[in-house]
Amino acid sequence: MTGQENPVVALFVFGMKSGRSGASASAGRTWPWSSAVRQGGGDTAMRPSRSRGVLEAAFTASGREARGRAGKTRCPAVRGSVGSEARHRPAEAGFTLVELMVVVLIIAILMAIAIPTFLGARRRAMNRAAQASLRIAVTAEMAYYASNGETFTSDPDLLKAEEYGLYWMGPNASTHFKEVSVDHSFGDYLCLAVASPSGDSFGMVVEIVPPANTLYGNSVPTRASDFCAGHTPGMIPAQGNWSTDPSVGWAT
């Protein structure tokens, strides 16, 4: 090739000059040397590397996009559910030892107030039942006194006819608030005694002869004859606490 310029070298020089002035002007532009390179087998050597790079970039971009979508869809939901569960879950807090001791102390104080009150009310109710039996017994004896020649009796059968709601013990001791022990001095005075379930005992002395007092007593013997024998009208029996006022004589 003497005397003539090599066409390959001319194309190479022309391509280098064009690349310096702006090789990236247009993606679809056809360069003069591209046909020569394709004819020489350069296209088959360049295509695999270029395609591999494009594919790797596409796979990388698609992987990043997929991971971004997954993070946007899953992570906020998980965080939201955990936060919501934490917000709506009640606090699991227990009582301290001091709080438990305060509660026990309050319960003990209430029991200390309530139990004596309850026991006192129960005892008063038992005593009222025994005192009611004494009043009923006096009414029955006075009915017998008015119907039988102004005299009293201690016969259980006769008294049962007057009042069947009581157990008439005669001269024997009373062991129940419905059992009434009776003693008398014919038409001068009448003595009655009743035992209370509370452990107390109550008695009455009804005098007919002057001064005709009615005495009420507590802590008396449950056998009427023990405090009634030798009684003198107008005198206080020696055994028990007696008074003409039932609120005083029957007070316990």
Q: What is the average pLDDT across 190-209? A: 95
Per the domain annotation, does 18 fall within a domain? Answer: no
pLDDT at 95: 87
Beta bridge pairs of residue 190:
184, 206
pLDDT at 230: 82
pLDDT of 8 above 60: no
Per the domain annotation, does 126 fall within a domain? Answer: yes
The b/e string for 40-72 (b: 16+ C-beta within 10 A; e otherwise) is eeeeeeeeeeeeeeeeeeeeeeeeeeeeeeeee
Per the domain annotation, does 121 fall within a domain? Answer: yes
Q: What is the rounded average pLDDT for all residues in the chain? A: 78
Looking at per-residue confidence, does 60 or 1 come out higher?
Answer: 60
CB 166 within 8 A of CB 132: no
pLDDT at 213: 94
Structure tokens of 151?
């005299």
User: Poorest-confidence range of 11-15, 88-92, 130-134, 165-169?
Assistant: 11-15
pLDDT at 206: 96
Per the domain annotation, does 55 fall within a domain? Answer: no
pLDDT at 229: 85
Per the domain annotation, does 174 fall within a domain? Answer: yes
Per the domain annotation, does 19 fall within a domain? Answer: no
Q: At 108, which amino acid appears?
A: A
- Tens-digit pLDDT profile for residues 212-252: 999 999 999 999 999 998 889 999 998 999 999 999 999 98
Per the domain annotation, does 216 fall within a domain? Answer: yes
Rounded to whole angstroms, how far apart are CA atoms 203 and 201?
Answer: 7
Per the domain annotation, does 41 fall within a domain? Answer: no
Provide the domain limits for residue 148.
Answer: 111-249
Within 13 Å and on the Cβ side, how many CA atoms surround 163?
A: 22
Helix H or strand E segment including 27: none
pLDDT at 75: 46
Number of domains in the chain: 1
pLDDT at 56: 59
pLDDT of 105 above 80: yes
| Percentage with pLDDT > 70 across the chain | 63
Structure tokens of 180?
């009434």
pLDDT at 186: 84
Structure tokens of 154?
């201690």
pTM: 0.59
